[in-house]
Amino acid sequence: MADINFNEMTRPSGDAPAESRSVADPHPPRWDIVELLFFAYRDFVGDADHVLEAFGFGRAHHRVVHFVCRYPGLTVADLLDVLRITKQSLSRVLKQLLDEGYIVQKAGDSDRRQRLLFATAKGEALVEKLARLQTERIDRALRDLPPAGAEAVGKFLRAMIDRDDPDKVLQTILHGASAKDVT
Amino acid sequence: MADINFNEMTRPSGDAPAESRSVADPHPPRWDIVELLFFAYRDFVGDADHVLEAFGFGRAHHRVVHFVCRYPGLTVADLLDVLRITKQSLSRVLKQLLDEGYIVQKAGDSDRRQRLLFATAKGEALVEKLARLQTERIDRALRDLPPAGAEAVGKFLRAMIDRDDPDKVLQTILHGASAKDVT
DNA sequence: CCTGATATGTCAACATGGCTGACATAAATT
DNA sequence: AATTTATGTCAGCCATGTTGACATATCAGG
């Protein structure tokens, strides 16, 4: 098992899978980064998955309770913008989180149609537990980088994100805008 | 719409969601990186999703044809290691890719039970098209970084990946081992 | 005050892509 | 010859995404 037979498994870094190689490709595929992103994200979310299983939750629940915990008072509409899913999909997991006491709702004071969402202590504990796991991995990865390297990672990730039509949460993250700025 | 009311949406960078704050937390949650990874990956895979839709494919198909294209001669077992899914799940999408001529099989020469997988020209074209899209985003994100910054990003991503029990593909990526090394 | 737009909830149906369990076949290994 | 291995396949379940339709409460404007 795991018996190796790397038949024709070749192809080092920068060669396209056979074809157009004319003058000067302005964007030769970054195969390395593309694949590293796949593996890194796979293992990154994998950390949380195991814990979530014990709670009978999935990734969808994690995302919801995470953002509610981090941005208290988020409305349902806000959450839909952030997660980019439909209200029906959200409703399923949100209902469970409400029923099991990880999140509570409160009517908005200026607009009482809105349901402002807040994580309970129970919800915050779960979120922190998961964030702690993921943070360990991040710290491990940043440990061997100089301060400038860690800074570059942050800049890179920020620059990977779509800028057009940023939702409230994304604006906060990208511009570090304190809540008040947009009120 | 997108009407702003940032009610109690506060919480700048480094404060835990209320609780244990005693002496010196060795791993204060890296909320920023955790969330940046979520958004960055969301938009990163989003690029490919639109194109795939036009082909009647999903992300699952992309992953399969991508790795087959990049590592020709991959066996089914290899692919299962890389993707970490079951053979039944793989079989569904792989069959479609075979039927529609994006991938071909060939019996292994040393072990004729194995089905070595290869992307056809059609498959390679699709993979390259998608990689090109993703590369544009990556290039855009790396553009504003100094060379040392780009290097740091690569190191970071590599360090984010689980090292225990790396599959064949991962070994190639991590150690840049040419195929022969493990044959 | 009525009316229309908005924020949310809900029902029903469907698609994708994971999963398990059971079983079949061919080829390698012992 | 018997067993193990690599792969395929059938059947069904689950999580999580989708669309469409419709109900309710509340806000906002004429």
Burial per residue of A55-91, b for 16 or more beta-carbon CB atoms within 10 angstroms, e otherwise: eebeebbbbbbbbbbbbbbbbbbbbebbbebeeeebe
Q: What is the distance between the alpha carbons of residues A127 and B142, in angstroms, rounded to a whole number?
A: 31
Chain B: residue nearest A163 by CA?
A: B43
* Rounded mean pLDDT, A99-110: 96
Tell me the pLDDT tens digit for each residue of B51-67: 999 999 999 999 999 99
Q: Are residues A100 and A169 in the same domain?
A: no
Quote the number of domains for chain A.
2
For residue A21, tell me if it sits in a domain: no
Q: What is the distance between the alpha carbons of residues B40 and A6, in angstroms, rounded to a whole number?
A: 33
Which of A122, A137, A106 minimizes the C-alpha distance to A55?
A122
Domain that holds residue A119: 31-144
Please, which pLDDT band fits residue B24 given cuts at 50, 70 and 90?
confident
Nearest protein residue to the C1' atom of D27, measured from CA: A111
Q: Are residues A48 and A65 in the same domain?
A: yes
User: Measured between beta carbons, which residues in chain A are less than 8 angstroms from residue B43?
Assistant: 160-162
For residue A5, tell me if it sits in a domain: no
Q: What is the distance between the alpha carbons of residues B113 and B110, in angstroms, rounded to a whole number?
A: 9
- DSSP letter at A118 equals E
Mutation target for A interface from B39, B42, B49: give the one with most A CBs within 10 A.
B39
| Domain CATH for A75 | 1.10.10.10
Q: Are residues B73 and B137 in the same domain?
A: yes
Does position A19 have pLDDT exceeding 60, yes or no? no
Does position B2 have pLDDT exceeding 90, yes or no? no
How crowded is residue B69: how many other Cβ atoms within 10 Å of its Cβ? 27
Whole-number pLDDT of residue A181 = 37
Could B33 and A178 be called an inter-chain contact, meaning their C-beta atoms sit closer than 8 Å? no
Q: What is the distance between the alpha carbons of residues A23 and A26, in angstroms, rounded to a whole number?
A: 10
Q: Worst-scoring range by mean pLDDT, A82-96, B84-98, B157-171?
A: B157-171
Q: Number of A to B CB contacts under 8 A, please give it.
A: 269
Whole-number pLDDT of residue B176 = 76
For residue B51, tell me if it sits in a domain: yes
Q: What is the distance between the alpha carbons of residues B135 and A44, in angstroms, rounded to a whole number?
A: 21
Q: What is the distance between the alpha carbons of residues A64 and A90, in angstroms, rounded to a whole number?
A: 8
B22 by Cβ neighbours in 10 Å (0-12 / 13-18 / 19+) ranks as exposed
For residue B21, tell me if it sits in a domain: no
3-state secondary structure of A43: helix
For residue A24, tell me if it sits in a domain: no
Q: Are residues B51 and B79 in the same domain?
A: yes
Q: Are residues B161 and B123 in the same domain?
A: no
How many helices (H) and strands (E) in chain A?
A: 7, 2
Tell me the pLDDT tens digit for each residue of B80-137: 999 999 999 999 999 999 999 999 999 999 999 999 999 999 999 999 999 999 999 9
Beta-carbon contacts of A132 under 8 Å, excluding residues fewer than 6 positions away, are B27, B29
For residue B20, tell me if it sits in a domain: no
